[in-house]
Amino acid sequence: MRIGVFGGTFDPVHLGHLILAEQCREQAQLDRVLFMPAASPPHKQEQTLTPFAQRVEILALALSGNPAFQIDELEKDRVGPSFTVDTLTLLTQRHPNDNLAFMIGSDSLRDLPAWYQPKRILELAELLVMERSEWPCACPDALRASLGLGTDFPLRYRIVEAPLVAISSRDIRRRFKEGRSVRYMVPRAVEAYVADKRLYI
């Protein structure tokens, strides 16, 4: 099987995430996409997040009806920052006969050299990159250079073509706070849940 691994904070999940996941599924012929909410993202240590359980509930509403999309709570009980390399290592042990593809937006890709053990991440998974507004995709040569990878390193890298969607969770949270519309930016059920629980206000 080919398994897509989609890590994120998902606070909350929005249409940009869902379009990325679906385009990766189709273009990289993934059998399954695992949405893996981070318990404690290393780059968001200063930020107060919505509790993990609620972010999972929101994801469940958004993914409902798509059998290829699943939530994996592997990072839930991890103590300390949720490092991608640890997640991919565990997934490799769990799925020894499957191929993993790690899905990422071009903004996060720019930060990859600063992540924990980036080279190991690229050994464990193919990289599927989707362009995000204002962040042109780094070409494979630039990625090699920034990570100090030799030409013999078997970099598996694919750019997934998709419409640019300039939606971010930060913008969704701000709109909720200001009482503005988020209709058509998040699934209807997500909008209703957030309003009902009075999140982000």
Positions touching ligand ATP (CB under 6 A) are 8-11, 16-17, 20, 104-105, 107-108, 130, 132, 165, 167-170
Judged by CB, which is closer to ligand ATP: 96, or 110? 110
Neighbouring-strand partners of residue 100:
3
Min dist CB 123 to ligand ATP, Å, is: 19
Min dist CB 103 to ligand ATP, Å, is: 7
DSSP H/E element including 102: strand 99-105
Judged by CB, which is closer to ligand ATP: 111, or 141? 111
**Residue 26 in tokens:** 């189709």
CA 149 – CA 196 distance, rounded (Å): 49
Neighbouring-strand partners of residue 126:
101
Min dist CB 112 to ligand ATP, Å, is: 10
Min dist CB 1 to ligand ATP, Å, is: 22
15 backbone dihedrals φ, ψ, rounded to 5°: -65, -30
Angle at 152 between CA 151 and CA 156, to 5 degrees: 85
Give residue 166's identity as a one-letter amino acid code. A
Min dist CB 40 to ligand ATP, Å, is: 13
Please give the residue whose beta carbon sits closest to ligand ATP in the complex.
105
Judged by CB, which is closer to ligand ATP: 79, or 166? 166
Judged by CB, which is closer to ligand ATP: 98, or 107? 107
DSSP assignment of 121-182: HHHHSEEEEE-BTTBPPPPHHHHHHHHT--TTS---EEEEP-------HHHHHHHHHTT---
Judged by CB, which is closer to ligand ATP: 97, or 139? 139
